[in-house]
Amino acid sequence: MNFELTEEQIAVQQAARDFAQTELLPEVIERDTHQKFPAAQIKKMGELGFMGMMVDPKYSGGGMDTISYVLAMEEISKVDASASVVMSVNNSLVCWGIETFGTEEQKEKYLKPMAAGQIHGAFCLSEPEAGSDATSQRTTAEDKGDYYLLNGTKNWITNGSTASVYIVIAQTDADKRHKGINALIVEKGMPGFVVGKKEDKMGIRGSDTHSLMFTDVKVPKANRIGADGFGFTFAMTTLNGGRIGIAAQALGIASGAYELALSYAKERKAFNKKLSEHQAIQFKLAEMATKIDAARLLLWQAAYLKDEKKDFVKAASMAKLFASQIAQEVTTEAVQIHGGYGYVKEYHVERLMRDAKITQIYEGTTEIQKMVISRELLK
C-alpha cells in the first residue's frame, strides 16, 4: 500500500489551503455571526475548480480523483465549514448524481454550468416527517403525461436559496412504496416553487439552510433522472458518495481545531511554563492527533475504493461515523485547551465545536451509519 500523495494531489491540497487562509479566514467570524452566505468566496471556489472537481473535463469539470477532492475538502473545512458544505453538496451529490445517472441533455444543460462553478445545486430529500426514514416521502410527483405535477415541502435544504438547480426526491406511486419514488431536476424560478424561511442554526451558520415549498410545479418528464421509480435508489446511491464528502468536512473541522490548540499550547503559559510542557495537555494533544490520523486513513480508504470503482458503501459509512465522532471530541478538547479564551469567538475553536455537531446528523445520522455498517457486515 502506498500512502504517498502524488504531485498533483499535493498541489490541490496546497491550493485549497492557500485559498482557505487568504479568502475564507478573514471574515469567517463575521459570516458566522450574521449568518452571511459566502457568495464571493463560493464564486472564487468555482473559478478555481473546487465546485466540480471530479466531473469529467468534457462537462467542464476538473477530472480529479476522490482523494484530491477530500484533500481539498479538509483544507476548506479547517477554516469554514459553511463554505465546504456548499462545495460538498455540489460535488458529491448534485454533480455526481447527474453525471452518473443523468441523460446527455441533463448533463449539457445542468452539469456543465455547475461543474464550472457558474451556478451550484441543492439536494432535496429531507421532509418534515421524512428525515432518516427516507422512504416516507410526502412530496408527490403526479404523472401527467409529458410532465410531473410536484407538490410538497422539503426541509433542511443546504443551498436552499442560493442554488439554481434542485434535485427533488418525490413519490409518484405510493402503492409501490420506495419503488414508486422519482428524482426530478427542478429549476429555480419554476412557477409554484417557493423558498421558505432560513433556519437559524447552531453551526455552519454561513450556509443557507431553508425549507422549500412546491405547489403544482410542472416539471418536464425530460427532467427525471433515470427510469420511473429509480428515485429512491438514486438518492441512497448518491448519499453513499456524499458521506465521503461529509467525512472530509468532519476531518477538516477536527484538524483545524487541533492545529489551533497545538499552536495555542506552544504559546500560552500557565504555572510558569508553556501549556505544551504540561503532561495533561500533551496527552490531550496526543489523543487528538491519533484520532485525526485514524479518521483520515478511514476516509482515504473510502475515497480510494470509490476511485477504484469497488464497493465503498461500508468504508464511506465507517469514515463518516468515526470522523464525525472525533470532530465532536477534538473540537471540545480544543476549547478546553484554550480555557476561557476558547469560549469566545475570536479564537475560532468555539465555532468549530458548533460546526462539528451537524456532521453527526446530515447525510445520514450516526445511528443510520451504524445500521449501514452492520447491514454490510452481515451480508
- Mean pLDDT, residues 190-204: 96
| CATH homologous superfamily of 7-120 | Acyl-CoA dehydrogenase/oxidase, N-terminal domain (1.10.540.10)
Query: Using one digit for the tens of pLDDT, what is the confidence trace for 2-36?
Result: 889 999 999 999 999 999 999 999 999 999 999 99
Contact yes or no for 51/87 (Cβ under 8 A): yes
- Mean pLDDT, residues 166-176: 95
- Mean pLDDT, residues 72-90: 98
pLDDT of residue 349: 98
Q: Please give the Cα distance from 150 to 219 (Å, whole number).
A: 7
Q: Please give the Cα distance from 99 to 118 (Å, whole number).
A: 17
Q: Which fold has domain 122-230?
A: Butyryl-CoA Dehydrogenase, subunit A; domain 2 (2.40.110)
Q: Is 28 exposed, middle or buried (0-12, 13-18, 19+ CB in 10 A)?
A: buried
Question: Which H or E run includes 170?
Answer: strand 165-171
Query: Using one digit for the tens of pLDDT, what is the confidence trace for 248-282?
Result: 999 999 999 999 999 999 999 889 999 999 999 99
- Out of 74, 99, 350, 363, the active site residue is 363
pLDDT at 213 over 80: yes
Q: At 210, give phi and psi (nearest 5°).
A: -135, 160
- Mean pLDDT, residues 129-140: 80
Q: Please give the Cα distance from 122 to 129 (Å, whole number).
A: 19
Counting runs of H as helices and runs of E as strands, what totals does the chain give?
A: 13, 9
- Nearest 5°: the CA angle 351, 352, 358 is 100
pLDDT at 178 over 80: yes
Contact yes or no for 320/247 (Cβ under 8 A): yes
pLDDT at 82 over 80: yes
Q: How confident is the model at residue 72 (pLDDT cuts 50, 70, 90)?
A: very high
List the domain boundaries for the chain: 7-120, 122-230, 233-377
pLDDT of residue 348: 97
pLDDT of residue 374: 98
Q: And the C-alpha cell for 196?
A: 421558505
Class in CATH terms, 233-377: mainly alpha
pLDDT at 96 over 80: yes
Residue 229 CA, chain-centre distance (Å), reads 26
Q: And the C-alpha cell for 180?
A: 414508486
Average per-residue pLDDT for the chain: 96
SS3 state of residue 92: helix
Nearest to 68 by CA among 151, 145, 1, 8: 8
Q: How confident is the model at residue 63 (pLDDT cuts 50, 70, 90)?
A: very high
pLDDT at 1 over 80: no
pLDDT of residue 136: 77
- Mean pLDDT, residues 309-332: 98
pLDDT of residue 286: 98
Q: Which bin fits 35, alpha (ψ -120 to 50), beta or left (φ > 0)?
A: left
Q: How confident is the model at residue 184 (pLDDT cuts 50, 70, 90)?
A: very high
Q: Is 175 exposed, middle or buried (0-12, 13-18, 19+ CB in 10 A)?
A: exposed
Q: And the C-alpha cell for 253?
A: 473541522
Predicted TM-score (pTM) of this structure:
0.96
- Mean pLDDT, residues 99-122: 98
363 classed as catalytic: yes
In percent, how much of the chain has pLDDT > 90?
94
pLDDT of residue 169: 97
Query: Using one digit for the tens of pLDDT, what is the confidence trace for 359-373?
Result: 999 999 999 999 999
Instruction: List the single range of 271-275, 299-303, 328-332 with lowest mean pLDDT.
Output: 271-275
pLDDT at 130 over 80: no
Contact yes or no for 276/283 (Cβ under 8 A): no
- Mean pLDDT, residues 135-155: 94
Q: Which bin fits 180, alpha (ψ -120 to 50), beta or left (φ > 0)?
A: alpha
Q: And the C-alpha cell for 272?
A: 510558569
Q: How confident is the model at residue 129 (pLDDT cuts 50, 70, 90)?
A: confident
